[in-house]
Amino acid sequence: MNGLLRDAAERLRAAGIDSPRIDARILWDHAQRLRHGSFEQLVQRRLRHEPTAYITGHREFWSLDFEVGRGVLIPRPETETLVEESLRLLPDRNAGYRFLDLGTGTACLLVALLKEFPNATGVGVDSSKAALNWARRNVIRHRLRCRCTLAVGNWDSAEGRFDLIVSNPPYIATSDRSALPVDVRDYEPAAALDGGQDGLKSYRALPPVLMKRLKPSGWALLEIGAGQHHLVSEIMAAQGLFVARVVADLAGLDRCLVVSPTRR
């Protein structure tokens, strides 16, 4: 690590950045690709706790590159748990499945699924026009326009029935948002984080959509926050859905609720 990198890493560490050496290296590499701007300018942005992904405009998910920026939630590794579980539930990679992504954001989940299932088609819905603009960029980036439809609107605006519905809804309780890292709290869109007073508002809205849009043989994969497994399961069961299991992420935390309209 050269002197500039070492100095940047030390300043990032002093500012409370969790991964100062990694971030300094990412910013250095990004600066070398820019025609305008400088490494120091990038470091200054990170010192203000702007997320590295927003600074570089990119984030990796499922070994795929996604464009990101202000107005859209940054993809996280734990969300890959939903993709992994979909591969277990749907063993025929060549089937013409229909996927629905509720709150698609960057479309990282939908794009990853369509890459794994080359004959599948998908619909991504988001209430945020800003987020949907990033989703469109990523669908185009990964050459999936012919198999993917994006729509702005509420979750119940999708039409037809689907083999798989995935969703990473907002699940942070409103009162807990102030305790989030500055990088998240002050930069990422509140609408993609805030799950209402108890963090469960979105889960209460999901069951009618799942009942209406899932095929009888279909599955829904819902990302959940820490400690929400039993509460979300109760919400699903109270409206006639069946929770098959909860799947842990690589950190061992309950992350993905597997839901079905019929008992299996």
Question: In this predicted model, what pLDDT tens digit does every residue of 38-79 receive, in sequence order?
Answer: 999 999 999 999 999 999 999 999 999 999 999 999 999 999
| Cα 66 from chain centre | 11
Q: Which domains, from first to last, does the chain contain?
A: 3-67 (1.10.8.10), 77-260 (3.40.50.150)
Indicate the pLDDT class of residue 1, thresholds 50, 70 and 90. Answer: low
Cα-based distances in Å from 93 to 14, 101, 120: 48, 18, 9
Counting residues of the chain whose pLDDT is more than 90, the rounded percentage is 90
* Mean pLDDT on 141-162: 94
Question: What is the residue-averaged pLDDT of the chain?
Answer: 95
Dist. CA 52–CA 70, nearest whole Å: 12
pLDDT in tens, 174-218: 999 999 999 999 999 999 999 999 999 999 999 999 999 999 999
Judge whether residue 241 has pLDDT over 60: yes
Select from 92, 96, 259 the least CA-distant residue to 169.
Answer: 259
* Mean pLDDT on 114-130: 97
pTM of the model: 0.94
